[in-house]
Amino acid sequence: MDMIAEGAISELNKNSTNYSKILEEIVRIEKKIFPKHESLSRSFDQELSKKNGGLLFAYVNGEVAGYVMYSWPSSLCGVITKLAVKEKYRRQGYGEAMLRKAMLKCQSRNILRLSLHVDPLRTPAVNLYKKFGFKIDSLVAKYYSADRDAYRMYLDFSTSN
């Protein structure tokens, strides 16, 4: 499936060329896709300062097509915090390419389990995670808000090979 050029997916850090411009584009995507109370748009800069995580983005036709934020809060467990793709770039493999690269980054740190939360109504996202071997652990009631639940999903690297 690797139709997405490896060079289209990059890691964003404070030393990145065009850091501010790219971060602004990511914040715009974040605000458009996620409700205000779920948005990390105010804290991306702070999140990127942490040593135990990263943010990958897809850069296509001179713009950010999507991003994935991940972290490893412990030496054994990683978390996919956010994954978003602009509507016009969906179903073209960018989400897969970014998720694959984030998973490899976590695996390189010898993390055994990767977890995430996803709204069960975001069927394409749930299906993407299932395609990569993520399993639904439980339904977390009112995770996002009083009327929005989340699936807690996980992938054990030790058994996914």
Q: Are 140 and 151 in contact (CB under 8 A)?
A: yes
Give the Cβ contact number of residue 156 at 10 Å. 14
Quote the CATH superfamily of domain 6-160: Gcn5-related N-acetyltransferase (GNAT) (3.40.630.30)
Rounded distance between C-alpha atoms, residue 138 and residue 112, angstroms = 19
> How does DSSP classify residue 150?
E
Domain residue ranges in the chain: 6-160
- Cβ distance 31 to 18 under 8 Å? no
Q: What is the pLDDT of residues 31-40, one digit of tens each?
A: 898 887 776 7
Q: Residues 135, 153: contact at Cβ < 8 Å? A: yes
What would the mean pLDDT of 112-124 be, rounded to a whole number?
94
Task: Please state the pTM of the whole predicted model.
Answer: 0.87
Residues 49-73 have pLDDT tens digits of 778 889 999 999 889 999 999 999 8
Residue 2, pLDDT score: 45
DSSP 29-92: HHHHHS-GGG--TTTHHHHHH-SSEEEEEEEETTEEEEEEEEE-SSSSEEEEEEEEE-GGGTTT
What is residue 7's predicted lDDT score, i.e. its pLDDT? 57
What pLDDT score does 56 carry?
A: 94
What number of other Cβ atoms are within 10 A of residue 8's Cβ? 16
Sequential DSSP letters for 13-26: -TTSTTHHHHHHHH
Tokens of 144: 């996002």
Q: What is the pLDDT of residues 125-143, one digit of tens each?
A: 999 999 999 999 999 999 9
